[in-house]
Amino acid sequence: MILRLLALALLTAPALADTPFDWGFSEGLTPVRTGREASGADCIGCHEDQAERWQHSRHRAAHDNPIYQSGLVDEPSPFCVHCHAPLPEQSAEVLANLRHYVARDPSRGLQPRPRLPEPLAAEGVNCVACHVRDGQILATNADTAEWAPHGITATPALSDGSLCEGCHDFHMPIFEGGSWILTDEIMQGTTSEWRAWRAAGGTERCVDCHMPAGDHAFRGAYDLDFVRGAVAVTRDGRTLTLTSTGVGHALPTGDLFRNLTVDARVDGRWSTVHRIGRTFEEVQDPLTLAWSKHEVADTSLQPGEPRAVALPESAARWRIRMHYGSDADEHRERLTDAELYADLWQGEL
């Protein structure tokens, strides 16, 4: 009997080793527990190189950037806070303030009432959110454990995409029966898109493109040179062709409002000729009266895909613009132009 149990244990051991690392994410339903205090301030003091780059990342700015703050005013929900200020102490700071986030007149911009300070939330997605679980400091390997002043738990999963998946792949929530539940509708599908690209022959991991040489700035859509380097734009007469050459997921991916437009200038006025991105409509459930968003179109550019766009005969100029917010955001004076969009390419005809 004991021998059979031993044999069983030996047989199941390799299977256990293959079990994916559990990062403890919940698609925004709960905060992320790490077993350690929330602030990354002491990590920053000793790891200056990573810290300096992280200071310039969207991860650092995940809670206090204006476009997210504007979204939180429209939808002041714990769901958002559990990813943008993900640790329990960070979320608690923001949740204590949530009722002060209400926009009394959405057309007149942000009008937050007095709030408590949010020093921990201001760290956004910090060192602890990615590098600490069960109170242990995680690194891809434990090579430096001998001289590090703290323990190191070798965790190759740090760079296999599963960590990113915890926040970069999730479903839409609805408030039903007194609590938040997830629907089948995808809100962000970056990791699924990337897995599909890998299955079709793509080779790079998220960290190969977004953390070259361990760069903690996580360059993305706000780094225009980074975007330009991954898309080929050619013009033949009045036909522009955009080809996604260096993106391992849809372009754009991520936030549901992110989109690119190809615009033409005719008679001194700019108008959009083609839009690249997802489109959603808001639907109200007749029984529960709950509102939810449904995807009605997806014109995102898939990896390797060329997209030809015909410009009007009378156009004098063209441009390709990255939009960070929604059309509604651009029609009210809450955010500045620089926060809302940036021009990637432009030319005369």
Q: Is 223 left (phi over 0), alpha (psi -120 to 50) or beta?
A: beta
Q: Is 85 in the site for ligand HEC (CB under 6 A)?
A: no
Minimum distance between the CB of residue 21 and ligand HEC, rounded to whole angstroms? Answer: 12
Instruction: Say if CB 131 and CB 34 are below 8 A apart.
Output: no
| Residues with Cβ within 8 Å of residue 298, at least 6 apart in sequence | 277, 278, 279
Q: Is 101 in the site for ligand HEC (CB under 6 A)?
A: no
Q: Is 72 in the site for ligand HEC (CB under 6 A)?
A: yes
Taking the C-alpha atoms of residue 289 and residue 113, their distance in angstroms, rounded to an integer, is: 28
Q: Which is nearer to ligand HEC, 146 or 267 (CB)?
A: 146
Between residue 12 and residue 71, which ones bind ligand HEC under the rule CB under 6 A?
Answer: 27-28, 40, 42-44, 46-47, 50-51, 54, 58-59, 61-62, 65, 67-68, 71
Q: Is 222 in the site for ligand HEC (CB under 6 A)?
A: yes
Taking the C-alpha atoms of residue 42 and residue 220, their distance in angstroms, rounded to an integer, is: 27
Give Cα separations from 326 to 60, 257, 270, 318 (angstroms).
23, 5, 18, 21
Q: Is 248 in the site for ligand HEC (CB under 6 A)?
A: yes
Taking the C-alpha atoms of residue 271 and residue 261, their distance in angstroms, rounded to an integer, is: 9
Between residue 281 and residue 310, which ones bind ligand HEC under the rule CB under 6 A?
Answer: none
Minimum distance between the CB of residue 337 and ligand HEC, rounded to whole angstroms? Answer: 14
Q: Is 233 in the site for ligand HEC (CB under 6 A)?
A: no
Q: Is 206 in the site for ligand HEC (CB under 6 A)?
A: yes
Query: By C-alpha distance, which of 162, 158, 163, 160 is closest to 141?
Result: 158
Between residue 139 and residue 178, which ones bind ligand HEC under the rule CB under 6 A?
Answer: 139-140, 143-144, 147-150, 152, 158-159, 161, 163-164, 166-168, 170
Between residue 178 and residue 197, which ones bind ligand HEC under the rule CB under 6 A?
Answer: 188, 190-191, 194
